[in-house]
Structure 1
Amino acid sequence: MTHTANADPQELAKFSELAHKWWDPDSEFRPLHQINPLRLDWIDQLAAIKGKQVLDVGCGGGILAESMARRGAQVLGIDLADKALKVAQLHAMESGVANLAYRSVAVEALAEEQPAQYDLVTCMEMLEHVPDPSSVVRACTALAKPGGWVFFSTINRNPKSFLFAIVGAEYVLKLLPKGTHEFARFIRPAELARWIREAGLDLGQFKGMEYNPLTGRYWLSGDTSVNYLVACRKPLKP
């Protein structure tokens, strides 16, 4: 059974085009480098990464996947943007990170192949780039072990997020390449919460991520009006 449908070729091409810049902290991926310590620490505080079997869905160039491996997890990063994956593999090799592997495979296909195999599944900044995000949520749930953690991050859909995440980040501040995001694909927390519950996960906490353009500082808060993260757990018994 093939699962190539839940990927947008234009989105994959967009990230492949930028792949060579992924590990340049002064490139278009600078925001990812800046937010990574925040989300890594938050995930680690809740799920204790060390020694865990971890899956990073939509891993791109491997910024989060590699940082989780450095904290002692056994990590598999998956993505369908092949150039970004090659960059991730090369960087891991150059950095000598051994407990880290990458695969080009759809999350739905991996869920059929390796159900309930991971203590921790992360899916960051990916849901807003696929045609059917609820399918990704279901697959991430299937991949988690009973009692395992699943983390998502995405962007809210409202006038403020349009102003901040598209107009501000892509056009005014030029933090991201123009066209990185499409407003219609942004996801309200209530929508994501519904998919999470329908998939059979227990909804944990939501966290907002804020940015001050004057200081260039990011921080986690209770404000989910633009960027937000959510922590979930798979029940021990269905």
Structure 2
Amino acid sequence: MTASSSVNADPAELAKFSELAHRWWDTESEFAPLHRINPLRLGWIESQVPLAGKRALDVGCGGGILADSMARQGAKVLGIDLSTKALRVAQLHALEAGTPNVEYREVSVEGLAMEQAGAFDVVTCMEMLEHVPDPGSVVRSCAELVKPGGWVFFSTLNRNAKAFLYAIVGAEYVLNLLPRGTHEYLKFIRPSELAGFCRSAGLDWVETKGLEYNPLLRRYRLSRDASVNYLVATRRR
């Protein structure tokens, strides 16, 4: 499936991440922050729902960092994305690493929801909502894809002055943690807005965690401070 005007994707965003696709599994590359936060978000997901034996979907999987780790925890995982290059990298890594029970497909979340409604125990959509034109559509489709009582996890960026200073000025221009232009401030999503999308989609908000970065120690940690990066656990009614 290719990006078009009927697909909930920004061609410029797809091009941006496609250009960097070959660096997804370089732990010192532009994707280093994702490698560093992945154990935190994986552990948090497992604290809500043990993944062994579950059928899991990773929406906007990119090069497969989270999808691969969920499969290694015993889940049967499908990773989807609209970046052909990123998916090829994910598939190659799974082959080289011998990761069991992980597959990748180039399909939109809306398209997959039409095929496999209620098919998954766990759905994750991390660091993606702030990159699409219609995040509410993504939330609705994630809710359609999970079984009743199943879990849907999101992570994104809050929209306020602190988030602008930390996530754009600090991360992209001062500390060079991310390439400049990675994020657009106006696409950041307040928790109240995400909560509205979840309510409309039939998802109950269970828990929120903040993600903080200490530039002196170069370490990330989960906290109660959701003013910049935050993660949300929800369940389908």
TM-score greater than 0.5 by the shorter chain:
yes
Could you say which residue in structure 2 is the equivalent of 1:52? Answer: 54
Q: What do residues 178-218 of structure 1 show as CA deviations (whole Å, max 9, x unaligned)?
A: 10000000000000011001101111111000000010010
SS at match of 1:146: strand
Q: Structure 1: which 4+ aligned runs deviate by more than 6 Å? A: none
Q: What do residues 66-122 of structure 1 show as CA deviations (whole Å, max 9, x unaligned)?
A: 000000000000000110010000000000012000000000010010000000000
Quick check: 1:86 aligned with 2:103? no
1:39 aligned residue (38, 41, 44):
41
Give the alignment's Cα RMSD to 1 decimal: 0.9
SS at match of 2:85: helix
Task: Name the amino acid aligned to 1:35.
Answer: I
Question: What is the correspondence of 1:102-181 to structure 2 with a 5 Å cutoff?
Answer: 102-181=104-183
SS at match of 1:198: helix
C-alpha contact 2:7 2:108 (8 A) present in aligned 1: no
Could you say which residue in structure 2 is the equivalent of 1:63? Answer: 65
C-alpha contact 1:3 1:108 (8 A) present in aligned 2: no
- Structure 1 unpaired stretches of 5+: none
Could you say which residue in structure 2 is the equivalent of 1:13? Answer: 15
- Structure 2 unpaired stretches of 5+: none
Mark the CA change 1:4 to 1:82 in structure 2 (over 3 Å): closer, same or farther: farther
Q: What do residues 29-49 of structure 1 show as CA deviations (whole Å, max 9, x unaligned)?
A: 000000000000000110111
Q: Using the TM superposition, give the Cα deviation of residue 140 of structure 1 relative to its aligned residue in structure 2, in angstroms.
A: 0.1
For residues 203 and 73 of structure 2, the distance between their equivalents in structure 1, rounded to whole angstroms, comes to 26
Q: Using the TM superposition, give the Cα deviation of residue 3 of structure 1 relative to its aligned residue in structure 2, in angstroms.
A: 8.2
Q: Using the TM superposition, give the Cα deviation of residue 5 of structure 1 relative to its aligned residue in structure 2, in angstroms.
A: 2.5
Aligned residues: 234
Could you say which residue in structure 1 is the equivalent of 2:100? Answer: 98
Give the TM-score of the pair, scaled to structure 1: 0.97
C-alpha contact 1:4 1:106 (8 A) present in aligned 2: no
Task: Name the amino acid aligned to 1:71.
Answer: Q
Identity %: 69
